[in-house]
Structure formats: C-alpha cells, structure tokens
C-alpha cells in the first residue's frame, strides 16, 4: 500500500517542482505581469483529481515554499493557496462535470480569490504594490486552463498507466 501511494505521489511532486521552477524563471518585464500562477493551477488540478491525497495540507506546504522563494510574509501564499484548494476540494465533484468553458470561469473566480487574498494581506501588512499587476495572472490563468487541463490529464493518464 505504501509503495503504491508513493508511486502515485511522485508524478504529482515532480509537476509541483516543475511548477515552482516555472514560477521563479526569469521572464521579460512585459510578459512577467501575465505569468500564470502555475502552482495555483497545479494545486487546483490535483485537488480536483485526487482530493484525498492532495488537499489543503499539501497546498499549505507549497505555499510556504513559495513564500520563502518570493521573500513575502511567511504564510501569505500558504493562506491563499490553502483557501482556493479548500474551495476546489469542496466542489471537486461539481467541477469534474462542468463543461470546459464553465470550468474556465470557475478557475477565473478561484484565481481572482487567490490574488485578492494576496492583495488583502499586503494591504493589512502595509506592503505597497501596484494593483494592476494582480489581474494579469488571473486572466492568463483562466485562458490557458483548457490547454493546461488537457496536458495535465495526459500526464496523469501516462503516469498511472505506466505503473
């Protein structure tokens, strides 16, 4: 059983590591503002697919790692990721039967919530940041979701059939 769960966890961990690398990869300033929140998208995907294994706890840990690599308040991204993962797990059955367009709209709402929490924490802590930057990742995130979903479904299918 433990070997089974370990081999099921490994692909997910690899996708998360790749996601973190994409997150800290340097981009030209113009595109930078529109970099999707890869880790948020990945956590939403895995929480939809395997909500028993990948739920709020793992989202929190990923968030803490993100906080350290961003140098933000420790717990800021953890809180935001934790909450959107909670919403995903709570409604994962519903989200699985949504048509793709409706799902994209849901992802838009989740990412907006994610950015809003970050924005709100920044406001409370007195960290100033231009507010327009927050909306780029939400829009790109929702737009690329269909492709991301198809790609990740492929990854999931392959990693499981390979066992």
Partner 1 sequence: MAASRGNNTNPARIPALGLRVLVLIIISIVLMYLDHRQNHLDGIRKGIGAAVYPLQVVVDAPVRLWEWLGDSTTSRNELELELGRLKAERLLTNARLQRLTALEAENARLRALLEARKTVRDEVRVAEIMAVDANPYEHNLIIDIGSRDGVYDGQAIVDADGVVGQVIETGVMTAQAVLISDSDHALPVEVNRNGLRTIAVGTGEIDRLDLPFLPNNADIRAGDLLVTSGLGGAFPAGYPVAVVDSVTRIPQEPFADVTATPSAALDQVREVMLIWSAPAVTEEAVE
Q: Considering the complex, what minimum distance in angstroms separates the CB of residue 78 from partner 1? A: 5
- Residues from 13 through 72 that contact partner 1 (CB under 8 A): 17, 20-21, 24-27, 32-33, 35, 50-52, 55-57, 60, 63-65, 68-72
79 touches partner 1 by CB under 8 A = yes
Cα-Cα-Cα-Cα dihedral sign, residues 119, 123, 124, 127: positive
Q: Count residues contacting partner 1 (CB under 8 A)?
A: 46
List residues near partner 1 by CB under 8 A.
17, 20-21, 24-27, 32-33, 35, 50-52, 55-57, 60, 63-65, 68-76, 78-79, 82-83, 86, 89-90, 92-93, 121-122, 125, 127-130, 133
């Amino acid at each position: 059983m433990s070997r089974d769960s370990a081999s099921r966890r490994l692909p997910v961990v690899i996708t998360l590591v790749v996601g973190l690398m994409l997150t800290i990869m340097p981009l030209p300033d113009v595109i930078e503002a529109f970099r999707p929140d890869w880790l948020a998208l990945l956590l939403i995907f895995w929480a939809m697919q395997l909500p028993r294994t990948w739920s709020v706890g793992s989202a929190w840990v990923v968030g803490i790692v993100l906080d350290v690599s961003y140098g933000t308040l420790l717990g800021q991204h953890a809180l935001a990721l934790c909450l959107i993962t909670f919403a995903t797990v709570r409604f994962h059955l519903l989200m699985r039967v949504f048509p793709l367009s409706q799902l994209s709209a849901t992802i838009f709402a989740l990412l907006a919530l994610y950015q809003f929490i970050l924005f709100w924490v920044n406001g409370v802590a007195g960290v100033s940041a231009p507010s327009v930057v927050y909306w780029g990742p939400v829009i790109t995130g929702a737009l690329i979701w269909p492709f991301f979903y198809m790609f990740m479904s492929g990854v999931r299918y392959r990693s499981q059939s390979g066992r």
